[in-house]
Amino acid sequence: MNDLITIVVPIYNVEKYLRKCIDSIIQQTYKNLEIILIDDGSTDDSGKICDEYKNQQRIKVIHKQNGGLSDARNIGIDNANGKYITFVDSDDFITKDSIEVLYKNIIKGEKEISIGQVSTFSNENNIKDYNCNEKINIYNKKDSIEQLLYNTKYTSSTAGKLFCTHLFKNIRFPYGKKYEDLAILYKLIYESNGVVVSNKVVYNYYTARQDSIMNENFNSTRMDALYFTEEILEFIQKNFPDIEIAAITRLIIECRDIIVEIPQNSKYKKYEDYIYNYIKKYRLRTLLNRKLPLKRRISLLPILFGKKAIKIAWKVKTKIL
């Protein structure tokens, strides 16, 4: 098998990191690739760097007005010719055999989504070289979504994942929203026949960019994650009611995380009561959920004692760690 695989790279003001990203894709051991570089209205030299690569046979460069990450990815999907598709953010890079591993497993597992592991790094000096004996697990549709909700075997990020392109026939990333992966991954799994998951690292995720979501000051877009998690709960209640507790648990963890991020005496305090109502409604069911590891349930115990207790416990935890 030697199917064409499309790699979509949305790009915005990443001149410092871009060549490393593109080179990691060009150097893949799997060669039948279509590489779509989408310059999303960059104001630095990112667009010029893209054009340095555009004469290579496998590379297509698209320059567009700035529309955000979701818009750039959607344009990549619209222009994709591959049987399979994956996404690489332009400040990250992939391991040399990333596509080969994901493709091999999607064929071997006879599933429509292949997942590898993601390693995080904050500077060039702490990039780890992971070598392991590969093990794969195969999950049907419902079990795949349940694993996603517990965030143990894999996360809601599209990083390190290979999809059959046809899964995107009626699905696109939400325009103008943050946490866009959370909004669609469960839908893609639902449209698929299941996933195959490898324990091999295939993707290196950079955490230190000052303008990344992880490093942003709190603002109203943080609530996008809550709204998408609410949608997930409604979806699960309708389609897989027997795993409702997994969706509830995911919602409560998201609520806890948002509460601890809201600054004291800020205009965003208005969100706290709305969020905490969910916690009051579902906290006992979450804490009694035996599918959630005991260590994680213990970490959630402060939700029994109010918003202030949640914030204090989080501060103590971060100081210890």
Q: Quote the percentage of the chain above a pLDDT of 90.
A: 83
Average pLDDT across the chain, whole number: 93
C-alpha 32/C-alpha 147 separation (Å) is 31
Alpha-carbon distance values, 81 to 36, 121, 146, 223 (Å): 10, 32, 31, 35
Burial of 255 (0-12, 13-18, 19+ CB in 10 A): buried
Residue 208 has pLDDT above 80, yes or no: no
Q: pLDDT band at residue 207, thresholds of 50, 70 and 90? A: confident
Residue 318 has pLDDT above 90, yes or no: no
C-alpha 80/C-alpha 8 separation (Å) is 8
8 A C-beta contact, residue 96 and residue 23: no
- Give the side-chain half-sphere CA count within 13 A for 115: 25
8 A C-beta contact, residue 32 and residue 3: yes
pLDDT at residue number 213: 45
Beta-ladder partners of 114: 162, 196
C-alpha 62/C-alpha 79 separation (Å) is 10
Average pLDDT over residues 44-68: 96
Look up tokens 């392109």; give the residue: 165
Residue 238 has pLDDT above 50, yes or no: yes
Whether this model's pTM surpasses 0.85: yes
Residue 152 has pLDDT above 90, yes or no: no
pLDDT at residue number 307: 92
Sign of CA dihedral 259, 265, 266, 268: positive
Average pLDDT over residues 285-294: 96
Q: Which domains does the chain have, with CATH numbers?
A: 5-206 (3.90.550.10), 217-320 (no CATH)
Average pLDDT over residues 277-289: 97
Residue 321 vs residue 43, higher pLDDT = 43
